[in-house]
Amino acid sequence: MTINKYAITTSNFKKLVQRTKVEIEEDIITTFKSIYSETNLRPYLNQKEATDIRKLTEFLINTEKYGSALQKQLEKSALPAVNKAVPNHYLFTSASLAPSYHKSIDCKTLTNDFENFEIPLEIRNKGEDEVNRFRNFAKENRGLLKNGKEYLFIQKLKDEFRLKCDINKISFNNSGKVEVSKMSTPNIKENITRIIERLEEIRATEDGRLSLTKYMFAPSTAARALRENETLNDIDREVLEHKKNLLDLIIEFNIQKTDGLNFSETLLQFYGFKKCGICFSDEIRFEL
C-alpha cells in the first residue's frame, strides 16, 4: 500500500525531531565526523550544534524506524504534540499556533513572507471578548491593506477602540522559502567551503581565535546567541552569523541526501501538525 507523504518546513522539522526525543548513542568525535563528511567541523561548531544536527540526520535516515515505534505508542498517546494550541498576540492568526503540513513544497504559503500586527496590550487586558472583537473588526477592514492604505487601516482600529497606544507591525521570514528555492548539492558544498575559509581567516587573528573559542564551548546555538545578544562586537557577530549560515547549509545538505522533509500524515498529525488551510482548502471545507 502506498503511503502519501506531506511536506513541512525546516523549522517545523526541528520541532518534530525535538518531540520524538531522538537519542544519539555515539561519542562526540563520531558525531562531528558524521554530520558532514567533507570537512572536520570541530573548530567551528560546539557540541550542542553538532549533536542537534546529528539528531536531525538520524531521524531522516531512520524515519521508518521511528514511524514503527510511533505505531506502538498511538494507543497510549504517550507523546505530546509538537506545538500545543497556545494563545498568541497577532492580529491575523487563529488562536492556535499548531504547525502545518502541505501537499507539496509548491504550496504558496511556503514561498511568501508574512506581515502581521500585534494586538495592543490595551485590548488584551480587557479579555478574550475584546480581543475577538478587535480581530473581527480588523478582518472586516483588511481590504484597506490590500489597497495600500495601511495608515487608514491602523487609524480606523485606533478610532474604533479609542486606543492611546500605537499598533505595531511585525514581519516574519518564511522558513519554507529555503526549501522551495533550495540550492543544488554542489552549490551547498561550495558555500560551506567558502564559509569555512572565511572562518579560518578570522581564526588566524587573535580576536577571531578568542571569539571562535568562546562560542565553541557555549551551551547554546549560534542562532540563539544572535537573538539574545544585542551588544555583540563586530568579530563576535560575524563569527555567529557565519556559524548560523554554516549550520543551515549542513542541515540542507543532509536533507538533500534523503527524500527531503516529507512524512506520513499519521506521524505528522500525531505530533500536532494540522492540514495547511491553503493547499487542503477543499478538503477542510468539506470536513466543516
Residue 286 pLDDT grade (very low, low, confident, very high; cuts 50, 70, 90)? very low
pLDDT of residue 85: 44
Residue 285 pLDDT grade (very low, low, confident, very high; cuts 50, 70, 90)? very low
The average confidence (pLDDT) of the chain is 80
Dihedral, CA of residue 214, residue 218, residue 220 and residue 224, to nearest 10:
-20
Window from 38-47, 91-100, 117-126 with minimum mean pLDDT: 91-100
Do residues 92 and 117 lie in contact, with contact meaning Cβ atoms separated by under 8 Å?
A: yes
Closest CA to 6 of 92, 77, 85, 106: 106
pLDDT tens digits, residue range 95-116? 445 788 888 877 777 666 556 7
* C-alpha–C-alpha distance, residues 14 and 51, integer Å: 12
* C-alpha–C-alpha distance, residues 215 and 211, integer Å: 6
Residue 200 pLDDT grade (very low, low, confident, very high; cuts 50, 70, 90)? very high
Report the pLDDT averaged over residues 78-95: 52
Domain range list for the chain: 5-84+179-275, 112-174
Do residues 97 and 124 lie in contact, with contact meaning Cβ atoms separated by under 8 Å?
A: no
Closest CA to 244 of 214, 224, 219, 230: 224
